[in-house]
Structure 1
Amino acid sequence: MKLIKLDAIDSTNDFLKSMSSQDEQENFTVVTAENQTKGKGQMGAVWKSETGKNLIMSVLVKDFLFDNEKVFNLNIIVSLSVLEVLKSLNIPDLCIKWPNDIMSYNKKIGGILIENTLKSDGRIVSVVGIGLNVNQTNYTELPNASSLAVISGKTFDKNALVVSIVEKMKEKIELWQTNTAAFWEDYFNSLFKKGVPMPFKNLQNTNFMGIIQGVSPVGKLQVLLEDDSVAEFEIKEIQMLY
């Protein structure tokens, strides 16, 4: 595993994307940073982190995705990889808030942003950004967030977390073809608030009740509505109110 450690960068995803345009970069190249000045979340949301306290990393993944209709498969692999590593550290009550937020109890402890680039020869090259709240303890401005340190009362080795997460990703990618259905089932079973009546808000700022049923093959959230129909939503088309 090639590991590039930076003190500060605007975005590890952007840094790795610029590197990955050069085809000689080896698969699973990792970039980490102690501070990220322009961290990104889904659909351009800003992701901020206290310098030196948290895990900020991006991983290059090649030769896995070959079909635009199946890009969500990598989301499943990465989410489950992070979840399994945290379970091994005895972090309690873990789940995935669709599509890629990592939760413990009702608090967000991490997020994943995957950016895919379609090459001229049809290959899909992915940069997997992972932000994990590790040793930061002050969340007065982020009441819905927490960290491994707050939840467990311990501090953690960020470098060991990087290695564990990447090794788990490699393992799941190797097993994907023979375990696809099982991985999807694990993802479904790990969904935050699945099967529970919950209030949501749509793009028109209209509130409505729904029950999360699962996720479609292309990664849309499937919600059972009050009229017994099931609607599918893209990222940012729906907000869970919890």
Structure 2
Amino acid sequence: MKKFIWPIYLIFLQKVDSTNQYIKRNILKWMKNWTVIWSMHQTNGKGVGKNLWETEKEKNLTFSIFFKSITLSIDKGYVMNMIISNAIHKILFTYSKFIWIKWPNDIILMNKKIGGILIENEVINKKIHTTIIGIGLNVNQLKFNSKFRASSLKKILNKDFELDKLFYNIIYSIQKEYFLFTIHGESDIRDYYVSHLYMKDKISFFYIRKNIHCEINGFSKGIIRNITRRGNLVIEFNKNKKIFFSQKEVQLIF
């Protein structure tokens, strides 16, 4: 096992509805910083919004990390998303060069979704007081619901993965990425994240929901160029027109 930068407090559960929900139920009782809840069978995992995270027991990684007193302002909440995305990407990049971060919270391998991140913050006085980071990564599962564009490391790369080894490597990578942020700030974290964005600088097809900031709505072609200092996605449309989008305003179709 790797020697961690900060001690972790690992709680292993054979079965749970949701690792994020488990932390919420126990947050006032005994949760310490860097508490990690890892379950082999998550029965009601959550994605962003109303999405569910479908997973087969004992085949994948489903775990949550609890942070407290990280002192990020509300408008910098996306930094944690970049830290976690980068950390996972750096580990998986050792297995395949065709791994990407799909803004804002998905992990893509060979154009298939293999992982997702759900971050839930508690805000006090306009500062992020506690953060729960839920991570789901499809590892050795082979069968998926056909209506989802999901896959796994094993299905794409045709090899088995040791869940324990992958888990500890990812936790260490997250700690390392967070440590770099505390020492050097946001710049390097942002540069890595942006340079590994899925479909960056390529013509893509988007669904744009109606909003007051954009006259474009419905389906439209565009090119992902960057993210803003608030974590919004920058898409370039015709005639070099760039528009910023929050998470609920735009969906990358392909």
Are 2:13 and 2:37, in contact at CA under 8 Å, matched by a contact in 1?
A: yes
Equivalent residue, structure 2, for 1:15:
22
Answering whether residue 99 of structure 2 is matched by residue 87 of structure 1, we say no
Equivalent residue, structure 2, for 1:56:
62
Answering whether residue 235 of structure 2 is matched by residue 223 of structure 1, we say yes
RMSD between aligned residues: 1.8
Are 2:19 and 2:63, in contact at CA under 8 Å, matched by a contact in 1?
A: yes
Give the CA deviation at 1:19.
2.3
Equivalent residue, structure 2, for 1:233:
245
Equivalent residue, structure 2, for 1:97:
102
Are 1:43 and 1:236, in contact at CA under 8 Å, matched by a contact in 2?
A: no
Give the CA deviation at 1:18.
2.5
| 1:44-99 C-alpha deviation (Å, 9 max, x unpaired) | 211111121111000112233421111111101100000111123x1330110100
Are 1:58 and 1:127, in contact at CA under 8 Å, matched by a contact in 2?
A: yes
Give the CA deviation at 1:140.
5.1
Q: In structure 1, how many angstroms separate the alpha carbons of the residues matched to 2:238 and 2:71?
A: 36
Equivalent residue, structure 1, for 2:177:
172
Q: In structure 1, how many angstroms separate the alpha carbons of the residues matched to 2:209 and 2:163?
A: 37
| Mapping of residues 134-173 of structure 1, within 5 Å | 134-139=139-144, 141-142=146-147, 144-173=149-178
Residues 123 and 114 (structure 1 numbering): CA distance in 2 closer, same or farther, change over 3 Å? closer
Equivalent residue, structure 2, for 1:41:
47
Normalising to structure 1: TM-score of the pair?
0.92
Residues 93 and 77 (structure 1 numbering): CA distance in 2 closer, same or farther, change over 3 Å? same
Q: In structure 1, how many angstroms separate the alpha carbons of the residues matched to 2:74 and 2:224?
A: 24
Give the CA deviation at 1:220.
1.0
Are 1:64 and 1:173, in contact at CA under 8 Å, matched by a contact in 2?
A: no
Equivalent residue, structure 2, for 1:69:
75
Are 1:91 and 1:148, in contact at CA under 8 Å, matched by a contact in 2?
A: no
Equivalent residue, structure 1, for 2:221:
209
| 1:208-228 C-alpha deviation (Å, 9 max, x unpaired) | 111101111221111111142
Give the CA deviation at 1:110.
0.4
Q: In structure 2, how many angstroms separate the alpha carbons of the residues matched to 1:121 and 1:217?
A: 17
Are 1:28 and 1:166, in contact at CA under 8 Å, matched by a contact in 2?
A: no
Q: Say which is worse superposed, 97-106 or 159-168, in terms of deviation.
A: 159-168
Residues 134 and 65 (structure 1 numbering): CA distance in 2 closer, same or farther, change over 3 Å? farther
In structure 1, runs of 5+ residues without a counterpart are: none
Match among 123, 132, 138 for residue 127 of structure 1: 132
Residues 50 and 193 (structure 1 numbering): CA distance in 2 closer, same or farther, change over 3 Å? same
Residue aligned with 1:118, SS: strand
Give the CA deviation at 1:179.
5.0
Q: In structure 1, how many angstroms separate the alpha carbons of the residues matched to 2:151 and 2:129?
A: 34
Q: In structure 1, how many angstroms separate the alpha carbons of the residues matched to 2:124 and 2:148?
A: 41
Residues 122 and 186 (structure 1 numbering): CA distance in 2 closer, same or farther, change over 3 Å? closer
AA aligned to 1:128 is I
Q: Which runs of 4+ in 1 moved over 6 A?
A: none
Residue aligned with 1:173, SS: helix
Residue aligned with 1:42, SS: coil
Give the CA deviation at 1:122.
4.7
Q: In structure 2, how many angstroms separate the alpha carbons of the residues matched to 1:165 and 1:74?
A: 15
What number of residue pairs does the alignment pair up? 240
| 1:131-166 C-alpha deviation (Å, 9 max, x unpaired) | 000000113525521111112211112122221111
AA aligned to 1:154 is K
State, as a whole percentage, how many aligned pairs show the same letter.
32
Are 1:65 and 1:71, in contact at CA under 8 Å, matched by a contact in 2?
A: no
Q: In structure 2, how many angstroms separate the alpha carbons of the residues matched to 1:217 and 1:114?
A: 18
